[in-house]
């Protein structure tokens, strides 16, 4: 639970308008506690017309169908994995159970009384919320649409009826957070669309008073309690996307036209605010770039299909986001591992083995067209042909697209150095987005290096949000990244798990990324003022050189960390680390790769792996999952420190 100090720190990051807005939200929540808003009468014979065009399903590849059905059949058997925890009870799920802790959130209290941040009371709220986004139901519905097997549809119906019965409006944990309601609405739109043709679909949706009640209350909640101010990040995008999609597809209420108009207006404004001109998401968290892009594309396509005008400025942002994604991925189509990541998706109609980033680029290619410098992407997902089939015209975006692959996205402070199979990300951007920088890490000047898609110098990831503050602190700390720590403190000051009260300011000093020859990047930050940390990274063929300098006050002790990916084995001899890993198999042969890291001899070097007190030497491949990996730490007096990474 958050104490009084946290609330004071949080309040200090709000402007007057946000304080007024939050007071209004508190008043609405107080009114709803005693007087539940009443939905209008349901139309006598509502019709669902937001169906897929004829032939859309025929464009889905056989390979995509195969991956989808493999996941759908696991779901039918009651099995799924959420954040590293395997559930086998999804034939008839307990919507309030956290299988990780075994705790069960209270279902009866007024929603805004549920202490969702307290793991002791409710368990891990992410484990509880995730199945109730109903994205497993869109996947099952897609399996029905592509096979005609009623078993998939019947399971969807059973889960929806169960959820609606057990989650009356404004009761329990599933009515607390707008992002959950927004994504759930988007799931319902696609579930109804994909079940079209099933005999029971009308009884489940159009002729079901439970659905009517849920649908109206979800939209009314979002229309009245939209995120704003310092919280207007990916949450508000999800809220707007869900409200817009539902008001377009289920436009049967007197308020529907107004909801559509306001949600479209807000989505247009918030997408622009959440996106740098270069196209990168302003939270500087790669996973949230994917989430926002998925939500924005799904909402814009939905509006276009319903005849609701989508501003060219909305399409322009989505185009820029797609081009930015194409510019930063490595040669295996993996984006950087920057900032927070909670494995959130906007719309799921594909099997778990489908590559998320390839799918997003394939959708961008279908909607906007690919540029010559784009990486080649396999067009074999389910979502791309379905989304593309709903668009009434080729989206028109007014922006000028890059003629060559951008290496330096100046406004976001991200620079990608490339040489053959070596990919390196250099971080010289803002600390985070808005005044609280909720999803930022203290990672100024961090580098991330891959060889043929394998993490060599790795960003360790995120692992958790709530319930485990020691691990939350480690994974977003300065020591938890490939950069320099001074005086045993982080560069930026944390005020809570999603709050930073002082932000390091970083400035990129020079960038050279010629078409051939060495690439070089230099940047500095003031997080340890009066000391200044300046770093230069140079990539020349198979050699990466990192030079760290501390200017000004050089008295604080330094720790320089290099986190190796989980596939890397390391042997440290004095200040030289010998690295070894297995590459991707070609036929029956998996090549072995090696590299040598010559570490600064001015520091004393130690290797750490899977340590707990305190945490050090860990890698999180996804939310809720962590595994031991090797971290090299050099301790001593800061100065002029040179590191050489040589790939064999």
177 and 281 inside one domain: yes
What is the distance between the alpha carbons of residues 196 and 50, in angstroms, rounded to a whole number? 10
Please spell the DSSP secondary structure of 63-91, one letter per residue.
HHHHHHHHHHHHHHTT-EEETTEEES-TT
364 and 322 inside one domain: yes
User: Which mean pLDDT values do the consecutive 10-residue runs of the chain (648 residues) have?
Assistant: 64 73 87 93 90 96 97 98 95 96 95 92 95 98 98 98 98 97 98 97 96 97 91 92 98 96 98 97 96 98 95 95 98 97 97 96 94 91 96 72 95 97 97 91 98 97 91 97 97 91 96 94 97 97 97 90 98 97 80 96 98 97 97 95 96
- CATH code of residue 256: 1.50.10
For residue 586, the model assigns a pLDDT of 73
For residue 11, the model assigns a pLDDT of 63
Beta-carbon contacts of residue 462 (< 8 Å; ≥ 6 apart): 340, 341, 342, 475, 476, 620, 623
Contact between residue 106 and residue 172 where contact means Cβ atoms under 8 Å apart: yes
Chain centroid, CA 342 distance in Å: 6
Q: Could you tell me the two tokens for 484? A: 């320099």
**Domain presence at residue 551:** yes
- CATH code of residue 528: 2.70.98.70
Strand partners, 419: 422
96 and 125 inside one domain: yes
**Domain presence at residue 43:** no
For residue 590, the model assigns a pLDDT of 82
Per the structure, the complete domain to which residue 326 belongs is given by 10-36+52-390
Contact between residue 609 and residue 623 where contact means Cβ atoms under 8 Å apart: no
Q: Could you tell me the two tokens for 144? A: 């029905």
Q: Could you tell me the two tokens for 250? A: 């289920």
89 and 31 inside one domain: yes
What is the distance between the alpha carbons of residues 449 and 452, in angstroms, rounded to a whole number? 10
Strand 519-525, strand 422-427: pairing: unpaired
What is the total count of domains within the chain?
2
493 and 562 inside one domain: yes
For residue 417, the model assigns a pLDDT of 98
For residue 276, the model assigns a pLDDT of 97
Lookup result for tokens 């590459």: 583
For residue 612, the model assigns a pLDDT of 96
Lookup result for tokens 């940047």: 523
Contact between residue 162 and residue 221 where contact means Cβ atoms under 8 Å apart: no
The enclosing H or E element of 509 equals strand 506-512
**Domain presence at residue 225:** yes
């Amino acid at each position: 639970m958050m104490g009084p100090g946290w609330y004071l720190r949080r309040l200090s990051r709000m402007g007057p308008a946000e304080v007024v807005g939050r007071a209004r939200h508190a008043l609405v929540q107080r009114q709803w506690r005693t007087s539940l808003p009443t939905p209008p009468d349901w139309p006598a014979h509502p019709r669902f017309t937001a169906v897929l065009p004829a032939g859309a399903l025929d464009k889905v590849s056989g390979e995509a169908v195969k991956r989808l059905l493999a996941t759908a059949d696991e779901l039918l058997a009651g099995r799924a994995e959420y954040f590293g925890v395997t559930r086998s009870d999804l034939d008839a799920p307990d919507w309030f159970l956290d299988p990780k802790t075994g705790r069960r959130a209270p279902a009866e209290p007024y929603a805004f009384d549920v202490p969702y941040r307290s793991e002791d009371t409710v368990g891990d709220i992410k484990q509880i919320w995730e199945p109730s986004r109903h994205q497993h139901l869109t996947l099952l519905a897609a399996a029905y649409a592509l096979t005609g097997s009623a078993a998939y549809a019947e399971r969807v119906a059973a889960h929806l009826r169960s959820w609606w019965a057990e989650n009356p409006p404004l009761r329990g944990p599933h009515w607390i957070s707008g992002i959950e309601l927004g994504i759930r609405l988007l799931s319902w739109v696609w579930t109804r669309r994909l079940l079209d043709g099933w005999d029971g679909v009308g009884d489940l949706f159009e002729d079901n008073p439970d659905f009517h009640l849920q649908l109206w209350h979800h939209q009314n909640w979002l229309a009245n309690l939209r995120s704003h101010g310092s919280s207007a990040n990916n949450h508000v995008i999800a809220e707007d996307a869900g409200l817009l999609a539902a008001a377009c597809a289920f436009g049967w209420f007197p308020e529907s036209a107004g909801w559509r108009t306001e949600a479209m207006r807000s989505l247009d404004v918030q997408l622009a605010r959440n996106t740098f001109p270069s196209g990168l998401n302003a939270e500087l968290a790669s996973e949230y770039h994917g989430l926002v892009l998925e939500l924005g594309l799904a909402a814009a396509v939905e509006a276009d299909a319903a005849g609701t005008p989508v501003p060219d400025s909305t399409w322009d942002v989505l185009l820029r986001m797609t081009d930015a994604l194409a510019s930063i991925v490595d040669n295996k189509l993996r984006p950087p591992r920057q900032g927070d990541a909670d494995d959130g998706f906007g719309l799921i109609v594909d099997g778990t083995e489908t590559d998320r980033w390839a799918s997003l680029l394939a959708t961008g290619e279908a909607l906007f067209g690919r540029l010559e410098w784009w990486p080649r992407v396999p067009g074999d997902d389910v979502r791309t042909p379905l989304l593309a089939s709903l668009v009434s015209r080729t989206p028109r975006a007014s922006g000028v697209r890059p003629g060559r692959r951008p290496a330096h996205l100046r406004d976001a402070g991200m620079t990608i150095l490339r040489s053959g199979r070596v990919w390196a990300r250099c971080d010289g951007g803002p600390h985070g987005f808005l005044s609280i920088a909720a999803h930022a890490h203290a990672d100024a000047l961090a580098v991330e290096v891959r060889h043929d898609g394998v993490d060599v110098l790795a960003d360790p990831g995120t692992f958790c949000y709530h319930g485990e503050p020691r691990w939350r602190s480690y994974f977003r700390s300065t020591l938890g990244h490939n950069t320099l720590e001074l005086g045993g403190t982080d560069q930026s000051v944390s005020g809570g798990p999603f709050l930073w009260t002082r932000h390091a300011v970083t400035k990129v000093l020079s960038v050279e990324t010629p078409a051939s020859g060495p690439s070089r990047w230099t940047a500095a930050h003031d997080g340890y003022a009066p000391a200044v940390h300046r770093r230069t990274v140079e990539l020349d063929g198979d050699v990466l050189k990192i030079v760290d300098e501390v200017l000004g006050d050089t008295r604080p002790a330094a720790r320089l960390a290099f986190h190796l990916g989980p596939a890397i084995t390391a042997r440290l001899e004095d200040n030289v680390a010998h690295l070894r890993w297995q590459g991707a198999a070609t036929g029956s042969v998996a090549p072995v790769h090696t590299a040598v890291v010559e570490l600064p001899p001015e520091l004393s070097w130690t290797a750490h792996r899977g340590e707990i007190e305190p945490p050090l030497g860990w890698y999180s491949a996804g939310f809720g999952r962590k595994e031991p990996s090797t971290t090299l730490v050099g301790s001593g007096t800061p100065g002029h420190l040179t590191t050489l990474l040589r790939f064999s």
